Structure 1
């Protein structure tokens, strides 16, 4: 099956695509991300043909095609193989910017769902928890873009750091506990944090937590520029 989320507002489109992915993950689907650097016709044919050996029997495999237009031939391959992707037992999710009319027409012929995502309404408050979600996915690209959007929307670096620290804290807690009740978290927060913790290697979350706290204190001691330091931190996850 093929699902397409396209639109000129990168943040809104990415958020909508990840809403869809969150629903799939709640059903225990395995999500694989393919970006433009590795998106080739051969890889797409391989992924559309059969499920990965790493997927449990009966489980769904979801493949996110993340802005293949960053390399023209990658998007061309996706459009050319749209029918094969649509007929695959796996779910393909195309996340893209605004598509050209011929590309959109071809994809609409085969997509189970084709959604042109509208941008955020003027004056709409930025959802700071979108940053937490991107961190839990270890999606550096989304996190960096969201950081810039948050800063442009007027959120303070302190508020952003607080949200990121909360997400790291919940992932560390989820990694050490067996269920939401033991962790003292809501089930949805626990499940997402548990899944996110598994993406990081042992000890990485502890290091990220310490470095974020150090960044905050050093900035308030005047040792560094908090906005620039936070951007470097995000790019280093």
Structure 2
């Protein structure tokens, strides 16, 4: 069964989706499988392939997966199977193109859209991405603490930082130093959730260690 969430109000959309994810996962004691734009296409394919005979019940969460990992067509082709599956599938895209939105909403059991007012779209959370790009550790730390105080989910904050690092890489052009720094940040942020899970650490604290590290400096 597929549930689709979209819209430019990332925080509100993700909060609504994750509340439902946690309710469903807790009720059925299901394993949570989360795939984001930081995952490779192989991770998407593995999630689509299912948990296997001994994999147990799963709740699948896709976030921003239509761009960046090369699995767009496979995801869209899998929509009928995702909709008919006994597993619960939750999917969030900030700004899906019209064709993708039409296809996903056609197969979704439920669709919810959370668009921020135009003046609010440049939320203060994106100051984090700007601070990362400047290599301003103090602003990055204060911004992170401000987002946590507001109740922003660590996954959302990680997504903003990862987006900021990708923007740095795309805008670095032929500047070898800037491109190298951006590539290193992209790689580290992509691996951060996996490393946190492997070490049994909360993503919230992994992000704190990241912003305090020397690697964020220019």
TM class by shorter chain equals 0.5 to 0.7
Aligned counterpart for 1:94 among listed residues 82, 91, 96: 91
Q: 1:87: Cα distance to partner? A: 0.9
Within a 5 Å distance, the mapping from 1:1-237 to structure 2 comes to: 1-27=1-27, 28-36=29-37, 37-39=39-41, 42-47=45-50, 53-55=54-56, 60-71=57-68, 73-119=70-116, 128=149, 130-131=151-152, 133-134=153-154, 139=155, 142-144=156-158, 199=197, 201=199, 231-232=211-212
Q: Which runs of 5+ in 2 are unaligned?
A: 124-145, 162-195
Query: C-alpha separation between the residues in 1 aligned to 2:85 and 2:45?
Result: 15
> 1:45–1:84: 8 Å Cα contact kept in structure 2?
no
Query: C-alpha separation between the residues in 1 aligned to 2:18 and 2:53?
Result: 21
CA distance 1:26–1:42, change in 2 (3 Å): closer
The TM-score, its normalising length taken from structure 1, stands at 0.50
Q: Which runs of 5+ in 1 are unaligned?
A: 148-197, 213-228
- The superposition leaves residues 138-173 of structure 1 with CA deviations (integer Å, 9 ceiling, x where unpaired) of x4xx233578xxxxxxxxxxxxxxxxxxxxxxxxxx
CA distance 1:54–1:71, change in 2 (3 Å): same
> 1:85–1:92: 8 Å Cα contact kept in structure 2?
yes
Q: Runs of 4 or more off by more than 4 Å in structure 1?
A: 120-123
CA distance 1:70–1:106, change in 2 (3 Å): closer
Query: C-alpha separation between the residues in 1 aligned to 2:25 and 2:45?
Result: 26
CA distance 1:94–1:111, change in 2 (3 Å): same
Q: Name the SS of the counterpart of 2:40 in structure 1.
A: coil
Count of residue pairs brought into register by the alignment: 153
The TM-score, its normalising length taken from structure 2, stands at 0.54
Query: C-alpha separation between the residues in 1 aligned to 2:33 and 2:64?
Result: 14
Query: C-alpha separation between the residues in 2 aligned to 1:42 and 1:126?
Result: 33
Bigger-Rg structure (1/2) = 1
